[in-house]
């Protein structure tokens, strides 16, 4: 732990106490020391993780970074901030406190005690869910690997690295479950999680969005806003799982996740503040000559990231999702607050789809449409975010607004796949779609334009031309704090 006098001591955690054992090689609150075999297996995986981090983690050489590390899982004071060399970050295994009386909240096992072990009949499905979740975590680190080279400020650089180390920890969270509960097969899957890599032709990451390139910081902010938000919603459903160790690990991951979305939402917001200011000052939407990102480019980036993230929910109608629910593996968002029988055998809902060149709707069993149920919650959350962004434009006296594209726009998975739907929800022919797509999705010219603005700004407290500074720093530190010490500092 840091002895840097500026960062102070770790806060005293309040609430139920389950201290993290930092004396161990792998910090944990699962009493790893009490299970030598498991401990040895994970200690065998650790050097491979570190190799992966060195090869495919952040590329920019740094000395240390002002990072938060979990020190406890209680409600308050769970994190400690200090300058640490990134490859010495204490990645560890932290599960939320166990509730000994917890019961299954939904599906056909509803009311039974939560499972502390994996039931044989659900083993394959559960492992699949854990592998898919685990696969996204290192994928995002790989996608963001090069961004440090063009950071708009030291403050933003630190946020990128914070997100990266925590996604690395989320990988640890899933690997722990694989090692602890799935035997040899689980250990093999844990190896594969380090073998696949984002965009690899032979061994790509499992889900589509995690093989796309994160080309620049505007895309990074859109990614943390829209794709990490899928993470929030998926973790929210796994947090309900009857398999208690999965539920508890997801519960703690959600705590970390909040910051990732903060990075995205405030990142885009600061881009808009800057763009709006330049639009007003110069009386034009073409703010590029003044170092800003034009609003229509921001909208096209938004359209892309939102649509690929919508695909992450899977098909609207999914037998898998129904089985996961009935078996107790994956619940709904806020399951405990839903006012129904939590079994859903008779429930129905509306499903929109494309028929005869128009968007139509029909009634379907809810149990088969749970991916859509979750996606609707996600979309509502996203529209709330867009409304907040629009307040920046309104506050600057501008009439322009951002919007979420129609749910059918640019989709590769589900009922809209194979159809051509505009951002405004019109179904059009393929030719027309192609002719107009340049107005809706980032073009090579957009990417070049954005790339031309991506010059690194490594001076403490300074910000690149295209983004406004944040109002406050991290953990009550000033905005101009030395959040990151670059490797080459002092050598120049």
* Cα within 13 Å of Cα(386), Cβ side: 18
Q: Which residues contact 30 (CB under 8 A, 6 or more apart)?
A: 93, 95, 176, 180
371 belongs to the binding site for ligand BYC (CB under 6 A): yes
167/240 with CB nearer ligand BYC: 167
320 belongs to the binding site for ligand BYC (CB under 6 A): yes
Q: Binding marks (x or -) toward ligand BYC, 273..312, rule CB under 6 A?
A: --------------------------------------xx
Interface residue with ligand BYC, options 46, 315, 443, 477 (CB under 6 A): 315
Interface residue with ligand BYC, options 7, 46, 192, 318 (CB under 6 A): 318
115/463 with CB nearer ligand BYC: 115
CB of 65 to ligand BYC, least distance (A): 19
59, 69, 60, 83: which is closest to 482 by C-alpha?
83
Tell me the C-alpha distance between 304 and 215, whole Å: 13
228 belongs to the binding site for Fe ion (CB under 5 A): yes
Tell me the C-alpha distance between 477 and 469, whole Å: 14
DSSP conformation class of 389: H
109, 62, 127, 114: which is closest to 88 by C-alpha?
62
Q: Which residues contact 8 (CB under 8 A, 6 or more apart)?
A: none
Interface residue with ligand BYC, options 11, 119, 208, 461 (CB under 6 A): 208
Spell 403-430 as b/e; 16+ CB within 10 A means b: ebbbbbbbbebbbbeebbbbbeeebeee
Residue 2 binds which of Fe ion, ligand BYC, none (CB < 5-8 A, kind-dependent): none
Tell me which stretch binds ligand BYC (CB under 6 A): 192-200, 317-325, 393-401, 426-434: 317-325
409/463 with CB nearer ligand BYC: 409
CB of 323 to ligand BYC, least distance (A): 9
192 belongs to the binding site for ligand BYC (CB under 6 A): no
Identify residues 218-277 at the interface with ligand BYC (CB under 6 A): 227-228, 230-231, 234
DSSP 139-207: HHHHHTTTGGGG-S-HHHHHHHHHHHHHHHHHHHHHHHHHHHHSHHHHHHHHHHHHHS-TT-SSS--SS
Judged by the rule CB under 5 A, the positions of this chain that interact with Fe ion are 137, 167, 170, 228, 231, 257, 260
Judged by the rule CB under 6 A, the positions of this chain that interact with ligand BYC are 129, 132-133, 136-137, 140, 167, 207-208, 227-228, 230-231, 234, 311-315, 318, 320-321, 330, 371, 413
């Amino acid at each position: 732990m840091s002895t840097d006098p500026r960062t102070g001591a770790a806060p005293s955690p309040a609430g139920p106490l389950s201290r993290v054992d930092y004396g161990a090689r792998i910090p944990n609150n699962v009493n790893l020391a009490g299970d030598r075999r498991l401990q040895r297996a994970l200690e065998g995986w650790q050097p491979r993780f570190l190799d992966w981090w060195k090869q495919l983690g952040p590329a920019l050489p740094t000395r240390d970074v002002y990072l938060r590390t979990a020190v406890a899982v209680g409600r308050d004071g769970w994190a400690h901030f200090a300058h640490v060399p990134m490859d010495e970050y204490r990645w560890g295994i932290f599960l939320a406190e166990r509730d000994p009386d917890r019961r299954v909240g939904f599906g056909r096992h509803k009311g039974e005690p939560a499972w502390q072990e994996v039931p044989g009949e659900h083993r394959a499905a559960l492992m699949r869910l854990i592998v898919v979740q685990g696969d996204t975590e290192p994928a995002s680190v790989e996608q963001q690997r090069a961004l440090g080279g063009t950071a708009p400020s030291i403050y933003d650089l630190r946020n990128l690295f914070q997100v990266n180390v925590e996604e690395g920890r989320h990988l640890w969270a899933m690997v722990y479950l694989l090692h602890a509960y799935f035997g040899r097969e689980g250990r093999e899957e844990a190896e594969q999680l380090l073998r696949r890599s984002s965009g690899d032709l032979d061994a790509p990451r499992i889900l589509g969005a995690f093989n796309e390139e994160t080309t620049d910081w505007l895309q990074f902010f859109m990614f943390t806003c829209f794709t990490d938000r899928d993470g929030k919603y998926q973790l929210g459903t796994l947090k309900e799982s009857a398999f208690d160790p999965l539920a508890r690990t997801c519960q703690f991951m959600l705590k970390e996740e909040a910051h990732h979305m903060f990075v995205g939402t405030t990142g885009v917001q600061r881009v808009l503040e800057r763009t709006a200011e330049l639009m007003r000052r110069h009386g034009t939407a073409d703010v590029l000559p003044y170092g800003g990102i034009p609003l229509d480019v921001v909208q096209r980036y938004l359209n892309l990231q939102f649509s690929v993230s919508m695909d992450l929910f899977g098909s609207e109608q999914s037998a898998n999702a129904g089985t996961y629910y009935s078996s107790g593996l994956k619940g709904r968002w806020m399951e405990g607050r839903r006012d129904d029988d939590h079994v859903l055998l008779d429930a129905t809902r509306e499903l929109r789809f494309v028929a005869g060149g128009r968007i139509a709707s029909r009634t379907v069993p809810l149990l088969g449409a749970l991916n859509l149920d979750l996606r609707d919650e996600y979309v509502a959350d996203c529209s709330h975010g867009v409304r907040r962004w629009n307040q920046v434009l309104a506050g600057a006296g501008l009439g322009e607004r951002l919007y979420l594209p129609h749910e059918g726009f640019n989709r590769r998975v589900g009922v809209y796949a194979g159809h051509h739907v505009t951002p405004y929800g019109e179904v059009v022919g393929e030719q027309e779609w192609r002719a107009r797509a340049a107005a809706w999705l980032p073009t090579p010219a957009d990417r070049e334009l954005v790339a031309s603005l991506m010059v690194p700004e490594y001076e403490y407290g300074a910000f690149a031309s295209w983004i406004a500074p944040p109002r406050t720093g991290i953990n009550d530190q000033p905005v101009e704090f030395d959040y990151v010490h670059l490797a080459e500092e002092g050598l120049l």
